[in-house]
């Protein structure tokens, strides 16, 4: 997820009236350069008349770091419907073509300021980054890929070079089976990054590139011939490619236990890559190293 760093636009370009016809250009495309706030309102809505001026005031105060588009839902119902706007005012923030934050109702100005700070990296942004990174991790553990993607995207609105968030987005793509997009995303981190999350993703991508077949077919092959180390090695790679590091470790340790020198210690070398992909301090890696030591020195 990359962002341009344009100079502040003229005041007349910061806030505009939008429509369903112009939504793609004014919001989706524009948000690929800088955050865009969308205010869904209607002429008959009293709270909208309170919220709108406060939003405009704080958007202008941001000095060009964010834009605002106002959408009259009566005249332009299409995108409001797609975004499931059920009451107004409803406000969304778009970054890189996706909604990443929002709220409903005429909230206090302090909340509006905090909302814009999250988008522009203003006061309080560092605390938000840590909370959002934790939320992204928790969402990934629960297989809530949409929630994880939203959390990591919000971090990148606050800190565009945050390597942990970059790695988080790549992990979302990996979990969704899109290794190509994960590869493009992790390439945003420096090539010599020492960030553990970045290194883990790169290790998992390396493992994914080696996978030769679906796990169920390879598992059947191993079950038919448990001494087929080559098939078991491929099975381990398949598990690792899908993110099942625990089972990948199990299969590699079985090879090492049966023949630690097999294929010039290929299983042991692959095991180290799996540990890196899982995270060197993860429970999977800690348990795997303990079991490996037991096999080698027990």
Which residues belong to the active site?
45, 48
- The label of the residue with tokens 């939003």 reads 55
Token pair listed for 144: 């809530």
Largest CA distance in the chain: 77
Neighbours of 104 (CB within 10 A): 15
Closest CA to 206 of 147, 290, 274, 141: 274
Identify each DSSP E strand in the chain by its residue range.
15-17, 36-41, 67-72, 90-95, 98-104
Token pair listed for 32: 């690929």
> H-helix or E-strand containing 71?
strand 67-72
């Amino acid at each position: 997820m990359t962002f341009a760093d344009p100079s502040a636009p003229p005041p007349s370009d910061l806030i505009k009236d939008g429509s369903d016809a112009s939504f793609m250009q004014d919001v989706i495309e524009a948000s690929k350069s800088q955050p865009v706030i969308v205010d869904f309102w209607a002429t008959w809505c009293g709270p909208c008349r309170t919220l709108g001026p406060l939003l405009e005031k704080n958007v202008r105060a941001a000095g060009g770091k964010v834009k605002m588009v106002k959408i009259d839902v009566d005249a332009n119902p299409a995108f409001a419907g797609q975004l499931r706007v059920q009451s107004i005012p409803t406000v969304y923030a778009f970054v890189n073509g996706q909604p990443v934050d929002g709220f409903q109702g005429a909230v206090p100005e302090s909340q509006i300021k905090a909302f814009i700070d999250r988008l522009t990296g203003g006061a309080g942004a560092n605390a938000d980054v840590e909370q959002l990174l934790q939320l992204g991790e928790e969402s990934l553990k629960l297989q809530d890929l949409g929630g994880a993607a939203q959390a990591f995207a919000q971090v990148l609105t606050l800190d565009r070079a945050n390597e942990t968030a970059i790695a988080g987005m790549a992990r979302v793509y990996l979990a969704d089976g899109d290794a190509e997009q994960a590869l493009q995303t992790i390439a945003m981190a420096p090539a010599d990054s020492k960030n553990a999350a970045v290194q883990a993703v790169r290790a998992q991508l390396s493992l994914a590139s080696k996978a030769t077949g679906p796990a169920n077919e390879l598992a059947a092959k191993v079950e038919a011939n448990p001494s087929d180390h080559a098939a078991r090695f491929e099975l381990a790679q398949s598990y690792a490619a899908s993110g099942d590091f625990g089972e990948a470790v199990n299969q590699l340790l079985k090879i090492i236990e049966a023949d630690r020198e097999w294929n010039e210690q290929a299983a042991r070398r692959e095991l180290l890559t799996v540990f890196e992909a899982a995270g060197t301090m993860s429970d999977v890696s800690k348990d795997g190293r303990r079991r490996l030591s037991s096999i080698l020195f027990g």
